[in-house]
Structure 1
Amino acid sequence: MRVTLLSSLTAGLLLALSGCSSGSSSGDGSGSSGTMTAGTLTVGSDLTYPPYAYLDGKTPAGFDPDISRALAKASGLKPTFVDTRFEQLIAGLGTGHFDVIASDLYITDARKKQVDFIPYFTTGNSIVVQASGGYRPTVVTDLCGKSVAVIKGGQIVEKLRGDASTQCRAKGEKAVDVREFATDPEGTQALLSGQVDAQVTDGAVAKAAADRTNGRLAISSKSLIYPVQSGLAVKRGDTALKKTLTTALDKLKQDGTYAELLKKYNLGQAEGS
């Protein structure tokens, strides 16, 4: 019995090790893309967050699906998407539900301890105003004394009430009058109806809002405000897939695809790009 049991355990262990070798690799990537399934790039993304990622009918759409498809094509892979809520993405990557996270995941020191990042764009905030008016704020100190719509609980609330308003007072002007709304669309509606002077929101969200209103709104800021880097995320130590995606991203930069997508969604280049 002991010999039989030992043989069974040994066979099971060899089978498990064999299965592991066909999945994500932590080698140098030579001859392998590092994906779990040969020929396929499985992408984890929260498809409830337009314009970054959402469902257009049954088709994943937005910046993250767009760039994921381009990266897969440049790598000779077929993309598939796994719709996963944001707070479950890192855990899902760790348990092998997908190869990579592409879902506007901000690069933070805490997350660097959990995943390996490939910076792929910089986001931040933009200032939106009524296109028909003469008010054209380009930087946060142009908002001094003005009523500004923001999403409730967002980091931008603290930034405008803290950093920006401190700068305003130092200039002898009034602080920014920050008006919080439960959702970005509610803030946009307040701007359209003249209840506030401006709206400050994520750059890509601002671009989508301006496009939806057929020219009634315009982005007046010239660069992203309070920029932050986002990254594609792979398992820590998965050097093969990281190399595959980094090489693919370089190809997209060289052929102009990367710049086109950033412009389409009002995003900035990742640092060092």
Structure 2
Amino acid sequence: MSVRRGATLAVTLLASTVLLTACGASDPATDLAAPKGQKDTGVNIGPDQNRIRGEKAEAAAALVPDAVRERGTLRIGAGAGADAVPPLGFYATDDRTRIGSEIDIATLVADTLGLKPQFEEVSWENLFVGLDSSKFDAVLSNVTVTEERKDRYDFATYRLDNIAFEAKKGSGWKVKGPADVAGRTIAVSSGTNQEKILVDWSEQNVEAGRKPVDITYFQKDTDYYLALQSGRIDAYLGPSPAAAYHVATAGQSEIIGTLSGAGGDLQGKIAATTRKGSGLVDAYAAAIDHIVRDGSYGKVLKRWGLSGEAVEKSEINPPGLPRTES
């Protein structure tokens, strides 16, 4: 992901985007991060973060399993390398320090539980490997609740999930449903809920007698954006916060459609993820509810321009992106 270098990042309103109607969905991304080139204003993207910190909440901390409490650390998996996505999780101006909304929220959760946050950066697929092997206690890295994932993991929600189609500026088309991407070349990251939705849309197009979607994959975000500008792809489907950030920073693309990360009939949810039966999900939900109430959660989302994706309360294992039909 291309990141404009500089010491500060201003938060402002972006131009309105097309919102596909989804049951229970709110306007997803009208206040996302957008640098304005102003000095000494906005959010610091340097390595010295002055991160918003929390205090231990005894009621939430009491829900932490004894083994974790005695260890004193919360081992948290975070995306690395090609999975660095502003404003969710990316590198500061020193190209080493990990910053972003996901890091801030994970730190607040650990603080609230009376634990020291211990981050390890791995590739997307290894986040789940780390949970399966009990290497990680939690993953807070833009993970969407899905029915298939609920078979193996427990979830405590902390943000709404919305995704966006990003096209070259002046493309002249909008995406409102499957028919709008029939025959188009769309890039998406492998193993994501965006990919599942796009595959489902392609199948719907074929069933309706339309052309399928030509789904394309690249290794990293910079490759997607180079392909977009060169015309090798028509659009890129990714997290709405990341798309809005790139539109604002690069100025070469535009959002042509948004929808819930769970598809057209359900509002997607982003959640703190833990191995099923680890005993931690209740503690995470309690910690998230606590930081919502004390206002620190709202400050973090506002800092990164994500207030439009706030939740009022954490939900444990809510309905997620439906299973793939076999």
- TM-score band, normalised by the shorter chain? 0.5 to 0.7
Is residue 2:188 matched to residue 1:155?
Answer: no
**What are the Cα deviations for residues 101-123 of structure 1, in whole angstroms up to 9, with x where unaligned?**
22344444554344432233443
Q: CA deviation at 1:250?
A: 1.5
Q: 1:166 & 1:268 partners in 2: Cα distance? A: 37
CA distance in 1, matches of 2:142, 2:249: 22
2:279 is aligned with 1:245: no
- 1:165–1:207 CA distance, 2 compared to 1 (3 A): farther
**Structure (1/2) with the larger strand percentage:** 1
Distance in 1 between the 2:243 and 2:233 partners? 16
Confirm or deny: 8 A CA contact 2:163 2:240 kept in the other structure: yes
The TM-score with structure 1 as length reference comes to: 0.65
| Aligned twin of 2:77 | 44
User: What is the Cα-based RMSD across aligned positions, in Å?
Assistant: 3.9
1-side partners of 2:252 and 2:152: how far apart? Answer: 43
> CA 1:268/1:29 → structure 2, altered by over 3 Å: closer, same or farther?
closer
Q: Secondary structure at the match of 1:186?
A: helix
1:136 is aligned to 174
Q: Which has the higher helix share?
A: 1
The residue identity in structure 1 corresponding to 2:170 is S
CA change 1:258–1:248 in 2 (3 A) is farther
Aligned match of 1:206: 243
Displaced runs of 4 or more, over 6 A: 270-273
- Which residue in the other structure is 1:101 paired with? 139
* Identical columns (%): 20
**Matched letter for residue 132 of structure 1:** G
* 1:5 alignment counterpart: none
TM-score normalised to the size of structure 2?
0.57
What is the CA–CA distance in structure 2 between the aligned matches of 1:63 and 1:268, rounded to whole Å?
12
Report if aligned partners of 2:158, 2:310 keep a CA contact under 8 Å in 1: no
- Residue of structure 1 equivalent to 2:20: none
When the two structures are aligned, how many residues end up with a matched partner?
238
Tell which has more relative contact order, 1 or 2 (C-alpha 8 A, sep 6+). 2
Larger Rg: 1
Return 5+ residue gaps in structure 1 as ranges: 1-27
Displacement after TM superposition at 1:218 (Å): 1.6
Instruction: Quote the Cα distance in structure 1 between the aligned partners of 2:111 and 2:261.
Output: 32
Per-residue displacement from partner, 1:166-225 (whole Å, max 9, x unpaired)?
45x4xxxx5355252434433433332345543333434423432341x22121224335
8 Å CA contact 2:189–2:238 kept in 1: the answer is no
SS of match in other structure, 2:284: helix
Change (3 A) 1:99 1:78: same
Indicate how the Cα distance of structure 1 residues 94 and 137 shifts in structure 2: closer, same or farther if over 3 A, else same: closer
Between the aligned partners of 1:232 and 1:212, the Cα distance in structure 2 is 28
Deviation, 1:238, is 4.2
